[in-house]
Amino acid sequence: MSTVLITGANRGLGLGLAKAYLEDGCDVVALVRQASPELTGLGCAALDIRECTLTDDWELGAVADSLADRTIDVLINNAGRMAKVEGLARADQLQGFGHFNRELWHDVFDINLFTPMRLAELLVEQVARAERGRIVTLSSMLGSMALNDSGGLYAYRASKAGVNAIMKSMAMDLAEQGVIAIAMHPGWVRTDMGGSKATFDIDTSVRGMQAVIERLSFEDSGKLLSHDGSELPW
Ligand SMILES: NC(=O)c1ccc[n+]([C@@H]2O[C@H](COP(=O)([O-])OP(=O)(O)OC[C@H]3O[C@@H](n4cnc5c(N)ncnc54)[C@H](OP(=O)(O)O)[C@@H]3O)[C@@H](O)[C@H]2O)c1
C-alpha cells in the first residue's frame, strides 16, 4: 500500500488529494497547520493528521523525525498562498507593480518555496525508500516565464518560478537515490485561491494530478507538468 504525504490537506486541493488517495486505498499523512472539520471528518485508520507550523524548520524536523521509519511513496508539497492584500484595487490586491511589501513577499516565499525545499531535505530518505519515490510540488503556470503574457502577481509568480527551479535541481540531485521530482500545475481550480470563476472543479484537477503522478517515470523528472499530463515550458 502506498503512503502519500500532503501538506495543506485541510482545504482546497490538498483536502481533495487526501480524500482521493484515501478512496484509492492509500495511507495519507496530512501535514497541516490546523486540521479542519472536513479533514478530521475523513477520519479513518489510513489517515494520519499531523499539525505543525509548516514554516518552522524545527517543527518540520520534529515531524520528519517522527516519520523516520516510514516509507513515503509520494511527497506532495501542496500548501501555498497567493498573498492577496484586501482593501486595494483588484489588480493591486495581487501584488501589482508599486505595491511591494517585503513582509508579504517573505510570507509567500516562506510557504511556497522555503517549505517545499526544507521538507524535501528532511524526508528524502523516506521517499528514497519507496520503489518509485516521487516529490511533487504544486507550482503554477503563473511561475512560467514563457507563459507570462499579462504581468503582475509579482510575489506569487516569483515564488512559483523559484520552486520550479528547485524541483529541476532536485530531479538531478536525487536521481541517484531513485527519486523523481517534478513541479505540477493543477489547472485553474475552484478553491478559495482559484475563486468561483476558475475552469476546473477540485475533483477533476485532483484525479488528473493523481493519474499524472501515478505514471511518472525518470523521463519526467525535472519537468513542469499540468494536471492533464501536458508539459509546460519554464
Ligand atoms: N486553485 C488554483 O487555481 C491553483 C492554480 C495553480 C496552482 N495552485 C497551487 O495549488 C496549491 C493549493 O492551492 P489551493 O487552490 O488548494 O489553495 P487554497 O484553497 O487557498 O488552500 C491553500 C492551502 O495551503 C495552506 N497554507 C497556506 N499558507 C500556509 C502556511 N503559511 N502554513 C501552512 N499552510 C498554509 C492552507 O492552510 P490553512 O487552511 O491553514 O490556511 C490551505 O490548506 C497551492 O500551492 C497553489 O499555489 C492552485
pLDDT digits (tens, 9 = 90+) for 50-68: 999 999 999 999 999 999 9
Average pLDDT over residues 79-84: 88
Q: Work out the mean pLDDT of the chain and round it to a whole number.
A: 95
193 C-alpha vs ligand 1 centroid, how far in Å?
7
Nearest atom in ligand 1 to 192's CA: 19
Segment 85-113, tens digit of pLDDT: 666 666 566 677 888 889 999 999 999 99
**Predicted local confidence at residue 99, as pLDDT:** 85
pLDDT score of 93:
66
Cα of 107 vs centre of ligand 1, distance in Å, is 13
221 touches ligand 1 (CB under 6 Å): no
- pLDDT at 2 (0 to 100): 96
Cβ–ligand 1 distance for 47 under 6 Å, the answer: no
Is residue 171 lining ligand 1, measured as CB closer than 6 Å?
no
pLDDT value for 97: 87
Q: Is the CB of 192 under 6 A from ligand 1?
A: yes
Distance from Cα 139 to the centre of ligand 1, integer Å: 10
What confidence tens digit (pLDDT) does each residue in 177-222 have?
A: 999 999 999 999 999 999 999 999 999 999 999 999 999 999 999 9
Sheet holding 134-138, edge to edge: 47-51, 27-32, 3-7, 74-77, 134-138, 180-185, 224-226, 231-232
For a mutational test of ligand 1's pocket, the pick from 33, 167, 224, i.e. the residue with the most ligand atoms closer than 8 A to its C-beta, is 33
The pLDDT value recorded for residue 60 is 98
Give the CA radius of gyration of the chain: 17
Within the chain, residue ranges assigned H as helices are 12-23, 37-40, 57-66, 90-93, 102-109, 115-128, 154-173, 202-214
The pLDDT of residue 96: 79
Give the residue-averaged pLDDT of 129-148: 97
pLDDT > 70? residue 31:
yes
pLDDT recorded at residue 95: 74
What domains, with CATH codes, occur in the chain?
3-232 (3.40.50.720)
- C-alpha dihedral (205, 132, 53, 139), degrees to nearest 10: -40
Atom of ligand 1 nearest to the CA of 110: 31
The pLDDT of 133-144, averaged and rounded, is 98
pLDDT of residue 92: 62
Ligand 1 mean position, distance from CA 1 (Å): 27
